[in-house]
Amino acid sequence: YMSTIGTTVSKSSARNFASLPHFDRPTYLMCPPEWYDINYVINPWMAGNLHRPSRDLAFTQWKELHSQLQRVADIRLIHGQQGLPDMVFVGHAAVVQHGIVALSSFAHPQRQTEERHLRRWFETAGFLLWETPRETAFEGEGDALFNAAGDHLWAAHGVRTCLQSHRHIADAWHTEVSSLHLIDPRFYHLDTCFAPLAGGHLLYFPGAFDKPSLARIEAAYTPKMRIAVTEAEATHFACNVINVGQEIILGQTGSDLGGRLEALGYNVAEVNLSEFIRGGGSAKALALRLSDTRVTHQARG
């Protein structure tokens, strides 16, 4: 299978596993919005928003997100590139765990040029690179998320990422993978409708999934551990959260979701990310996890 789809593992894979990057603190990668804009339409949110984001406002909002995240995590930066307006959504560039990085193969040509910049950044930082073939699209943490324990991968298909990529991605860590089918074009990435939280909870929008996928989710998370958001919350990107231990950072949901999460023991910070929502992304899409997911409670999801 791997040889037929042309997997290549870079020469950095020859390095000793013990020398792979390791983070003692939660660590994320972000990309400042110097070149952020909406130049094309590749998701329903971008329609009607061509060139509408204010870059000044986007910068202010991004800096607020950065300073909220910096309270609880270290942040590395990658420079944006002129002509790559979506590179700010660095959460879709890869999935990282144990110093191994599964690099994305973007579905749309408009974002494929981002790949070489990210590959170079990860190579320089000493990560082990796991390439994904062009013919099986895969969009990083947009469509593949580890559970809190870090031993199970949830991967979506149906819009951007191909089902055929799931097994290949999971093999980077020899981990189990469950595939979920996305059926609503507004929720075109898994991270728009599904967020495993460190406390073992799952924040999700049930309407984004087909029946067998919902059954899989419900088999893994007991009713007590499932936090379903409403359609109105989901369309405010309520599931697109950054979660570090008990801290949750998200865009403004205009609802009582923050209170519901706080009742479960989380601390919630809401940041206005309106300019990025025009592009189809919110908090989670603007930061890529580099450190490992960790168990903070006993719950397993």
Point out which residues bind ligand ARG (CB under 6 A). 42-43, 46, 86, 89, 111, 142, 189, 191-192, 240, 279-282, 285
Pairing of β 194-196 and β 176-181: unpaired
Residues in the chain: 301
Nearest approach, Cβ of 161 to ligand ARG (angstroms)? 11
Closest distance of CB 84 from ligand ARG, Å: 11
| DSSP letters spanning 114-178 | HHHHHHHHHHHTTPEEE---TTS-B-GGGTEEE-TTSSEEEEEESSSS-THHHHHHHTTTT-EEE
Q: Both tokens of residue 46?
A: 């971008």
From the CB of 217, what's the least distance to ligand ARG, in Å?
Answer: 18
Q: Lay out the sheet containing 27-30: strands in order across.
A: 74-77, 27-30, 288-289
The residue among 197 and 299 lying less far from ligand ARG, judged by its C-beta, is 197
Structure tokens at 5: 């789809």
Q: Which is nearer to ligand ARG, 43 or 291 (CB)?
A: 43
Closest contact distance (angstroms) between CB of 262 and ligand ARG is 23
The smaller minimum CB distance to ligand ARG, of residues 166 and 284, is found at 284
Q: b vs e for 53-68, b when ≥16 Cβ sit within 10 Å of the residue's Cβ?
A: beeeebeebbeebbeb
- The residue among 288 and 299 lying less far from ligand ARG, judged by its C-beta, is 288
Residue 107 vs 197, nearer CB to ligand ARG: 107
Task: State the nearest-atom distance from the C-beta of 143 to ligand ARG, in Å.
Answer: 8
Q: Residue with the closest Cβ to ligand ARG?
A: 281
